Amino acid sequence: MENILICLAWPYANGDLHVGHIAGCYLPADIFARYQRLIGNRVVVVSGSDSHGTPIVVRADKEGKTPREVFEHFHSRFVETQLKLGISYDLFTHTDTENHHDISQQMFRQLLKNEYLYQEKQKQLYSEREGKFLPDRLVEGTCPICGYDNARGDQCDNCGNLLEATQLINPRSRNHPEDKLIVRESDQYMWDLPALSAPIGQYLSDKSGLWREGVLNFARNFASELAPRAFTRDLTWGIPIPVANSEGKCIYVWWEALLGYLSATVEWAKITGQPDAWKEFWYTDSGVENPVKIYNFIGKDNILFHTVLWQGILLGMRELGQPWDGNGAAAKTDAVRFNLPYDVPANQYLNLGGQKFSKSLGVSVEAIDLVEKYGSDPLRFYLSSILPETKDADWNWADFAQRNNSELLAKWGNLVQRTLSQIWKNFDGAIPQPGELTDADTALLAKAEAAFDTIGVKLNTVKLRDALGEVIELATATNQYLDQQAPWKTIKAGDEGKARAGTQLYVAAKVIDSLSVLFSPFIPDLCEAVRKQLGYAGPLFGRQYVETIQETTRQHDALRYDASSATGTWGPSELAPGQKLGGEPRGLVNRIELTPEK
Ligand SMILES: [Zn+2]
């Protein structure tokens, strides 16, 4: 058994989740998590809403609301969307909790104490009209590296490089592009990232063959020339710097958002009544017996943050600190106690008609609309089959309907329906007793058995698209078997014919039973329904629910997962003859007919 901690990128709570977000990280992480649970590993899945980004402040200003009102609205939308999509979090929280504030301030103190933070006057862009320093995301200009005209003050979306707003050529305010920006100095804490070059390089040195090649090359290239980075910003909406005389300054949002992986694990441990359990995932010296693997599922625009900078924070902090008054009395610590991420399976982009998703440009397909209209299965199935694992992929409405109708419905839904309805009609609604097995029978059963190993290897190495392809192949083979054997004809040939038809349907039902497990990480709702039709009482997976968590002065809703009712295991069917079906079989997959405007 392994201890698997799955960390999903924290969505900015300033707009709904679109299908690009889902394909980029939320669905792949959930497929992986469900597989890990089925093979019996101890799995914890964490993420939450990033409540402190500048885009939230911008939206709040525009709508005349407070940033908290804006992020709370989208946080509850994220919870609802992901609940409906079946993204099975042990904890989906947010960054405006007391717990996260406390641990973020511990992070700051640890880095300060270990001498990775120092004060410096920093040049920042100041808007006279707005009377404030402009947050990086509110500055746009030409990328000094690739020449892209719409680079943001923190990052260029075209080449992926991280930037400082003052590096931009012709920087302009996003809200008032005509304004002249002036450069002013401001006292900030700087992060001495170059001092962590050696351990970061060491960490990246043994990831060949394990990480996706593009991810590793990008990370190594960036890690070879690390520069100091600002750790704080002039902001009021965020996590205040926990040292004296720092009014109006907060921890830079990116650093505390990354820390969310750790603080969410701490919160999960607290609310499950085992306050030290987070150490079993995060500390190398926790004494936990089995191996620990931390996975970060992200989109490609976040690679540098999750392959280099987050590691830098963990290496610099060494451990979570005790409350400290900031007077410098605490002693430096040398030994790093943290486990660093094992794998960062970053995806490329899912685009729409070749364009990046952009709500402001009207290029978007909201996940919640689709899941409400079609249910989770068609959306999860389609996105699983086009996941942008190695290159960009494209959302295509016709392809969405086509894959639903010709694969999910024709190859899987109909296979279940036509097999179980014959058992219902001709064998008193119970799995028939098989006679002697023919070569064709044993060949199909052997293929289904072997699939658990080959597909398991693909899922375990996060080759999810290939894994789904192989499950579909087994469903195709089962349909071919049924077409060739034609039990609906065999059954007409007297008692002997009926006995043979019983064997054929027994074989098909066994493979359907196996397929209901093999398909389940991808389309859990549909597979649970198939299991019920097969007559199983217990579900494959546990229960998802929304929990309101009360802290000292505030409360928040979180998405949770309770594994206690789960009975699924990753292995070939043990379906026994005589098992009663769970009622008259009915079709489980609907055809999708697209209307002209979708
Ligand atoms: Zn660029």
pLDDT at 596 over 90: no
Mean pLDDT, to the nearest integer, of 458-481? 98
398-565: CATH superfamily: Isoleucyl-tRNA Synthetase; Domain 1 (1.10.730.10)
Mean pLDDT of the chain: 94
pTM: 0.94
pLDDT at 488 over 80: yes
How far is 238 from 235, CA to CA, in rounded Å? 7
539: number of Cβ within 10 Å: 16
Per DSSP, 2 falls in state -
Tokens at 482, concatenated: 């049924």
pLDDT at 581 over 60: yes
d(CA 257, ligand 1 centre) in Å = 23
- 598 — pLDDT class (breaks 50, 70, 90): low
d(CA 226, ligand 1 centre) in Å = 17
Mean pLDDT, to the nearest integer, of 209-238? 93
Contact 444, 484 (CB under 8 A): no
Please name the residue that has the structure tokens 């009482």: 537
- 245 — pLDDT class (breaks 50, 70, 90): confident
- 296 — pLDDT class (breaks 50, 70, 90): very high
d(CA 589, ligand 1 centre) in Å = 45
Mean pLDDT, to the nearest integer, of 568-593? 97
Mean pLDDT, to the nearest integer, of 188-215? 96
Helices (H), 272-374: 279-282, 303-304, 310-317, 367-374
- 328 — pLDDT class (breaks 50, 70, 90): low
d(CA 149, ligand 1 centre) in Å = 9
Share of the chain above pLDDT 90, in %: 83
pLDDT at 193 over 60: yes
Report the SS3 class of residue 363: strand
Contact 50, 540 (CB under 8 A): no
Contact 478, 515 (CB under 8 A): yes
For the stretch 114-124, pLDDT in tens is 999 999 998 88
How far CA 380 is from CA of 31, 134, 160, 288, 390, in Å, comes to 10, 40, 28, 35, 19
- 330 — pLDDT class (breaks 50, 70, 90): low
Report the SS3 class of residue 7: strand
Question: Comparing 507 with 233, which gets the higher pLDDT?
Answer: 507
Beta pairing, strands 169-173 & 132-133: unpaired
* The predicted structure's pLDDT at residue 137: 82
User: Minimum mean pLDDT among 211-215, 243-247, 329-333, 521-525: which range?
Assistant: 329-333
For the stretch 83-114, pLDDT in tens is 999 999 999 999 999 999 999 999 999 999 99
**Residues pairing with 188 in the sheet:** 120
d(CA 229, ligand 1 centre) in Å = 18
* The predicted structure's pLDDT at residue 464: 98
Question: Comparing 186 with 34, which gets the higher pLDDT?
Answer: 34
- 322 — pLDDT class (breaks 50, 70, 90): low
- In the chain, which residues fall in CATH 1.10.730.10? 398-565
Residue ranges of E strands in 129-181: 132-133, 139-142, 151-152, 169-173
3-116+192-352 has which fold?
Rossmann fold (3.40.50)
d(CA 568, ligand 1 centre) in Å = 47
d(CA 170, ligand 1 centre) in Å = 14
295 CB burial (10 A radius; 0-12, 13-18, 19+): buried
* The predicted structure's pLDDT at residue 326: 55
Contact 298, 261 (CB under 8 A): no
Mean pLDDT, to the nearest integer, of 384-413? 96
d(CA 300, ligand 1 centre) in Å = 14
Question: Comparing 417 with 14, which gets the higher pLDDT?
Answer: 417
- 79 — pLDDT class (breaks 50, 70, 90): very high
How far CA 401 is from CA of 387, 398, 466, in Å, comes to 16, 5, 21
Question: Comparing 81 with 138, which gets the higher pLDDT?
Answer: 81
d(CA 167, ligand 1 centre) in Å = 11
d(CA 155, ligand 1 centre) in Å = 8
Mean pLDDT, to the nearest integer, of 261-274? 98
pLDDT at 357 over 70: yes
* The predicted structure's pLDDT at residue 70: 95
d(CA 142, ligand 1 centre) in Å = 8
d(CA 200, ligand 1 centre) in Å = 24
Please state whether 60 falls in left (phi above 0), alpha (psi between -120 and 50) or beta.
alpha
How far is 168 from 590, CA to CA, in rounded Å? 51
How far is 72 from 94, CA to CA, in rounded Å? 9
Nearest to 502 by CA among 414, 428, 445, 583: 428
d(CA 157, ligand 1 centre) in Å = 7
- In the chain, which residues fall in CATH 3.40.50.620? 3-116+192-352
